[in-house]
Amino acid sequence: MAFPPADSQAQANSNEIHEEPGGAGISQALVQRAAEWGLVVKSESGRDQNTVTVGLMSAGEGSASSVERGAESTRTSGESVPRVSQELKDALSTLQQTFVVSDATRPDCPIMYASAGFFGMTGYSAKEVIGRNCRFLQGPDTDKAELAKIREAVRTGKSYCGRLLNYKKDGTPFWNLLTVTPIRDDSGKVIKYIGMQVEVSKYTEGLNDKTLRPNALPVSLIRYDARQKEKALSSMTEVVQTVKHPRAHPQAQDHEFTVKLDDQKFSVESPLQNSADPKYFKSPGRLTPLMDLKRNSSRISRKSGRSSLMGFGGRKQSSVERNETAKEPEILMTKDVERTESWEHTEREKEIRQGIDLATTLERIEKNFVITDPRLPDNPIIYASDSFLELTEYSREEILGRNCRFLQGPDTDQGTVAKIRDAIREQRQITVQLINYTKSGKKFWNLFHLQPMRDQKGELQYFIGVQLDGSDHVEPLRNRLSEKTEMQSTKIVKTTAENVDEAVRELPDANLRPEDLWAIHSQPVYPRPHKKSNSSWLAIEKITRQGELISLKHFRPIRPLGCGDTGSVHLVELQGTGELFAMKAMDKSVMLNRNKVHRACIEREIYSLLDHPFLPTLYTSFQTTTHVCLITDFCPGGELFALLDRQPMKFLKEEAARFYAAEVVIGLEYLHCLGIIYRDLKPENILLQKDGHVVLTDFDLSFLTSCKPQVIKPSLPSRRKRSRDNFHPIFFAEPSTQSNSFVGTEEYIAPEIIAGGGHSSAIDWWALGILLYEMLYGRTPFRGKNRQKTFSNILHKDLTFPSSIPVSLAARQLIHALLQRHPANRLGSNTGANEIKQHPFFRDINWPLIRCMAPPELEVPLQLIGKEAESNANDIQMDDEEMLIQTLEGL
């Protein structure tokens, strides 16, 4: 961190602490303890020999290299050395992150605590760090523009996340992903800053992020800073909560789940408690004692401070409960859930449940490969897998934009290299064996496969180069792999190349012109059959029939409806018509920097396919210089999340939960029939229409593939009376292709997404189970104190049902069936929505007439969003992109 400089005054004597140890000489423990606080222990002449003085360390007592590079980072001497309480220190010492805590109440924001990881990463000792500003990490090539951003963030009390070049004590430069977050007291005053560091030298594109192609787009196919910032911000959450609430942080951390989630093996264990355990044998009709209301009352949402009194048990029995006759099996019995980190209100407060996009399918292919672009001079590398970096020992910054020749060495057979050149010139695939070299000069036997990739027009787009290290399988006499090994290895590299070819097609062509990236948003939108006569379409068509292209100027902003990580949604009125719409405006530059261009284009394509009462209608889309905009239905009922939040107990009665879940099932069934895997089901993405029915929205994380509808004839039982009513053919349509992107909303992500083995539409049925649980219990079942713990819970934690909230056996059975960790065992995986519709929980639902049903009564009824404009939105007309930006920022 680089904080604004401040004047300092020398008052060393006033900061001395005198101690009289019981034994002779200076205790080594005392010296070490003092050093941790940035103090020095000295014996003073003229005093008793057992008396020592603990005083401030002078700047001269640090290392020479520290003084040379950090002349401005000398310890603040006008104040006593900043200290943290032992309680806070003990809590912080359990964290694995690399970070410092600075005192914002003192001049120059001196460091008051540094983690062990910080000392290990930088090479500095505690006595060289505590009491100083972090400027000693700066060096000659540290970007001054980034430093200015940090100073401005500190000056204004805001957060910062960025990458800058820092220097270790021995002078070694390294790329530091720095995240700075202010900590405020109850009055809102900033009292501390947390600066978390992550060394990203191996995987960042480094200075290559400023290297542009002729089309002004980056050379690198993926913008890695966005990926690393996403992970860093998640990791920072735990540090912030520990600083704010040290008592709530456990002193012993569970390190079984590491940050590198891709190494996590998928487990298919049952999510239920072991039924053999005597503590789970409870009689069906008996509830366990009520939980401590005060201690367990908070259900913290990422969008509000909503709380849920989990000890409340005063709901009326549902019809399903009244009709239950079967004995309740022990494994589905409720239990009195003790206080856990997922319920602790101090752990993760008032966060917004944003969808996360941690990796594309391409980035999750754990093989050694590169992608090159032959349309650029010298066919440079534009993508390199993490596994390739590990194999070759190079960093990503060192190889992006270069030709693969750097792997050659003295013993590389030039005849084989010539064959590769010929294949490149002739645009054909080839598989060869040759000796290559790592960065340190180590030889490895490389089974190399080159495969061209062509675009839809058949023109050469990229080359895919797959490497397989066969060093351990070379036959000395043949000086090559055995025939059997070669055959098996060739199959592996060719399969990898095919997987890469398929995965990279999800991304936009790196050679497109910037204006072509967003071309789909300028395409016309035509009305679909079921809504083409409604008033909204008639108003839109009145303008288009006159030959006008609908643009920003046709809409008047009224009020904001929500915001996301790439843009915002606003209520707008079509000028002169009184017709209201929702306008989703997305910032082009943000989407470029965050690898979301293909997500925005897929969302636009999906919207154009929809024609269903429980899904939004796209009326038009357009782009400005800075934004792309989608105009869709306005749902005055707002989010289901907000409706849940307004209920006194923050959950719904079972009849209401059944109604909303049933409509979600219908919506998902329609999406799957179109080949769409939703991938982001959650209450925030379920909007409520004026009549109380649902609309599923937000498709920026969805996956669009093909779908082959099937009609399955059920097998008829023999020797039984056959009833025609029970044996109708089943229409079954589920997306046919799998994806492996790491996307979704943290608490709703299915196990197979985390495990990285590929996922299908079954992930939507998992999310349905989480949604039903949240509607009935007021919280999600696997939420942890941080993202890593949440993912660990999803993979391993037992599914439990709090006894303090009565929920029918049928509902718990449905949740249990939907939350099967192995997708093949999950309800909905075999014949899609048909299995779920037939579950006893939904037996009172008349599926064909569900949209004619009256929504259930709620304790707090649905509140409609009015047309009243915000005070600063009156008379605003968004006639250009500059006005759009000002409007979006001002409302």
Residue ranges of the domains in the chain? 86-202+220-244, 369-506, 516-633, 638-714+728-852
The CA-atom distances, in angstroms, between 79 and each of 7, 75, 190 are 11, 10, 18
pLDDT in tens, 625-676: 999 999 999 999 999 999 999 999 999 999 999 999 999 999 999 999 999 9
Do 144 and 205 touch, CB atoms closer than 8 A?
no
Q: What whole-number distance in Å separates Cα of residue 690 and Cα of residue 637?
A: 6
More confident of the two residues 303 and 177: 177
Report the chain's mean pLDDT, rounded to a whole number. Answer: 81
pLDDT in tens, 149-164: 999 999 999 999 999 9
pLDDT in tens, 18-51: 333 334 444 555 555 554 444 555 554 444 444 4
CATH 2.60.40.1260 for domain 369-506: no
Closest CA to 318 of 881, 886, 842: 842
Pick the CATH number of 638-714+728-852 from 1.10.1040.10, 3.40.50.1820, 3.30.70.1230, 1.10.510.10: 1.10.510.10
Coil, strand or helix at 43: strand
The pLDDT of residue 603 is above 70: yes
Q: Which residues contact 677 (CB under 8 A, 6 or more apart)?
A: 671, 702, 703, 705, 735, 739, 759, 760, 761, 763, 764
Could you tell me the pLDDT band of residue 332, with boundaries at 50, 70 and 90?
A: low
Q: Which residues contact 262 (CB under 8 A, 6 or more apart)?
A: 364, 366, 756
The pLDDT of residue 79 is above 60: no
pLDDT in tens, 665-697: 999 999 999 999 999 999 999 999 999 999 999
Average pLDDT over residues 276-305: 33
- Per-residue pLDDT, 866: 79
pLDDT > 90 in the chain, percent = 62
Fold agreement between 86-202+220-244 and 369-506: yes
pLDDT in tens, 548-568: 999 999 999 999 998 877 789
CATH 2.60.120.10 for domain 516-633: no
Global pTM?
0.80
- Per-residue pLDDT, 263: 38
Do 468 and 486 touch, CB atoms closer than 8 A?
no
- Per-residue pLDDT, 172: 96
pLDDT in tens, 119-129: 999 999 999 99
CATH architecture of structural domain 86-202+220-244: 2-Layer Sandwich (3.30)
Backbone φ/ψ region at 110: left (φ over 0), alpha (ψ -120 to 50), beta: beta
Beta strand 460-469 with 474-475 is: unpaired
Q: What whole-number distance in Å separates Cα of residue 118 and Cα of residue 195?
A: 10
Do 562 and 683 touch, CB atoms closer than 8 A?
no
pLDDT in tens, 370-396: 999 999 999 999 999 999 999 999 999
Could you tell me the pLDDT band of residue 839, with boundaries at 50, 70 and 90?
A: very high
More confident of the two residues 730 and 427: 427
- Per-residue pLDDT, 316: 38
- Per-residue pLDDT, 315: 38
More confident of the two residues 226 and 190: 190
pLDDT > 70 in the chain, percent = 75
713 is in an annotated binding site: no
Could you tell me the pLDDT band of residue 729, with boundaries at 50, 70 and 90?
A: confident
Closest CA to 628 of 772, 515, 485: 515
Do 400 and 384 touch, CB atoms closer than 8 A?
yes
- Per-residue pLDDT, 726: 59
- Per-residue pLDDT, 345: 40
Classify residue 58 by its DSSP letter: P
More confident of the two residues 151 and 713: 151
Could you tell me the pLDDT band of residue 302, with boundaries at 50, 70 and 90?
A: very low
The pLDDT of residue 460 is above 80: yes
The pLDDT of residue 339 is above 70: no
Q: Which residues contact 378 (CB under 8 A, 6 or more apart)?
A: 403
The pLDDT of residue 428 is above 90: yes
- Per-residue pLDDT, 785: 84
Average pLDDT over residues 300-322: 36
Average pLDDT over residues 336-355: 51
Token duo for residue 34 = 């003092």
- Per-residue pLDDT, 708: 85
**Which amino acid type is present at position 289?**
P
The pLDDT of residue 610 is above 60: yes
What's the maximum distance between 2 C-alpha atoms anywhere in the chain? 109
Q: Is the dihedral of CA 344, 349, 352, 355 positive or negative?
A: negative
Tell me the sheet residues that pair with 711: 731
Average pLDDT over residues 844-854: 94
The pLDDT of residue 143 is above 90: yes
- Per-residue pLDDT, 30: 52
- Per-residue pLDDT, 353: 80
Could you tell me the pLDDT band of residue 869, with boundaries at 50, 70 and 90?
A: low
- Per-residue pLDDT, 731: 84
Catalytic residue among 103, 373, 680, 698: 680
Whether 501 sits among the annotated catalytic residues: the reply is no
Torsion of the alpha carbons at 43, 45, 46 and 48, rounded to the nearest 10: 30
Cβ atoms within 10 Å, residue 183: 16
Could you tell me the pLDDT band of residue 722, with boundaries at 50, 70 and 90?
A: low
